[in-house]
Every structure is written in structure tokens, then in C-alpha cells.
Amino acid sequence: MASTSEISQRTPSRTRSALALVAFLAIAFAVAAFGGLSTAGNVDGWYAAAEQPAWTPPNAVFGPVWTVLYTLMSVAAWLVWRTPDSVARRRALGLYVAQLAVNAVWTPVFFGLEPFLGAPALWIALVIIVVLDVLVIATLIRFAPLSRLAAAFLVPYLLWALYATTLNAGLAALNS
């Protein structure tokens, strides 16, 4: 049977755990804020004028959906972080960071390169979002053995990312 000191070494304190959750949320919402800066001037610019796929939702849907998704992603990463330190945990969280970084890159490429290129970078953004899809799948697979709940929390994000991939592909095809 494990002693109290052994258990405390494996389980973070409540304060440390709460701070870690706040940090995961802050990082995810910093990525969201960065993306918001990229979209601000362009949603009513080239994007509004572009031919949209028939399955494009109203712009008002994106903010609430991403708020829920970033929250679920953060809680998922936090749940994995709370598991005992291991190579599997480090790899899982490494993939989480990688997908979050690619997520952060997609929005400014999709929305923000148009002034520099003279046209939206929809095909470049499509490549990036496909990489994101692969990383989210890999993250989900790595999270599953550590926390089934964490893996389940990534499923809506994966589904939305795949949906966003179809929107990106549709916009690229319709506006090339």
C-alpha cells in the first residue's frame, strides 16, 4: 500500500492543480485571442465577399463554438497533466502543445495573409489545417490511455476541426 508521502508525490496539491488548470485555460484563450486579432478586420473584408460553401454557418456561431472547444481542450490537457509523470504523459502533452501551436498558426494564415499576398492564402491554410487534424487525432490517441475523459473532451474539437477543414477546402476550391 502506498504511503501518504508517495501519494502526495504523484498527486498535485489542490492549489497547484487549480493553478495548472488556470494556466491551461489562459494559454488556450491566448491562442484564441491571437486568432481573434487575425480575423477582426478580415471577416468583413475578403471573407465576406468570398463565395462560401453551402454548409458555412453564420459568423455568430464561431465565437461560442470556439469558446466551448478551447475550454474542453484545456480541461482535457489538465486531466492528462494530473496523471502521474511518465513518458506517455510527456508525449501526450507535447502533442497537445504542437496542435495548439498549429491551431494558432492557421487563423492568421487563413485570414491574415491576404494583404501581403494580394489574395487569401486558402490553399496554404488548407495544408496547415490538415496537419492540425492529424495532430488532434494523435493527441486524442495519446490522451486516451491516460484519461478517457480527456480523450472524450477532444472529440468535439476533432469534429469541429474536420468540419473547418471542409470549409477551408470549399472556400479554396470556390475562390481559386
- In angstroms, rounded to a whole number, what is the distance separating the alpha carbons of residues 145 and 104? 26
pLDDT at 115: 66
Name the pLDDT band for 84 (thresholds 50, 70, 90): very high
> What residues contact residue 26 under an 8 Å CB cut-off, 6+ apart?
none
pLDDT at 11: 66
Q: Above 50 in pLDDT, residue 6? A: no
Name the pLDDT band for 38 (thresholds 50, 70, 90): confident
Sign of the four-CA dihedral 39, 44, 47, 53: positive
- pLDDT mean across residues, the chain: 90
Span 35-53, mean pLDDT? 83
69 versus 6: the higher-pLDDT residue is: 69
pLDDT at 5: 44
Is the backbone of residue 51 left (phi > 0), alpha (psi -120 to 50) or beta? beta
Cα 115 to Cα 32, 46, 47, 94, 119, distances in angstroms: 21, 10, 12, 33, 7
Sign of the four-CA dihedral 45, 164, 93, 155: positive
- Kindly state the cell numbers that stand for 119: 489574395
- Kindly state the cell numbers that stand for 158: 476533432
Name the pLDDT band for 113 (thresholds 50, 70, 90): confident
77 versus 1: the higher-pLDDT residue is: 77
Q: Above 60 in pLDDT, residue 1? A: no
Least confident segment among 38-52, 84-98, 115-129, 147-161 = 38-52
pLDDT at 2: 44
As a whole number of Å, the end-to-end CA separation of the chain is 65
